[in-house]
Amino acid sequence: MIATTPKPPYYAVIFTSIRTEEEMGYRELLDKMVELAQHQKGFLGMESAKNEIGITVSYWDSLETIKNWKMNVDHIEAREKGRSTWYKKIMVRISKVERDYGFDNLSLKK
């Protein structure tokens, strides 16, 4: 699903990853982190796609709310578990969204 975001500016945290083969507990903790993020002040939405490389983009209203999410105790523990068990490589990028645009043809009948 494509996130519905407000009029820019806002911020995007882009989390790119390459997974290990380990699956034990991954889905459960991932679901918990998504649920937790959705309840954080300043969270605007999230999009994710996974194949050989996973890319998750979360949207936030400010750099301060991104920092608060990073410092969340449960999120810190999940990051540590991810680094030790589930990810071979990760990259996090934080960007300011200055402009966005798109269209919606999902309601068209085929």
Domain boundaries, the chain: 21-97
Say which CATH architecture domain 21-97 belongs to.
Answer: 2-Layer Sandwich (3.30)
State how far the Cα of 66 lies from the Cα of 64, in Å rounded to an integer. Answer: 5
Residues 6+ apart with CB under 8 A from 57: 3, 12, 13, 14, 15, 46, 47, 48
Taking a C-beta distance cutoff of 8 angstroms, is the pair 95, 15 a contact? no
The four Cα atoms 13, 58, 17, 106 give a dihedral, to 10 degrees, of -130
pLDDT confidence band for 104 (50 / 70 / 90): confident
pLDDT tens for each residue of 43-73 = 999 999 999 999 999 999 999 999 999 999 9
Per-residue tokens: 67: 């920092």
Whole-prediction pTM value?
A: 0.90
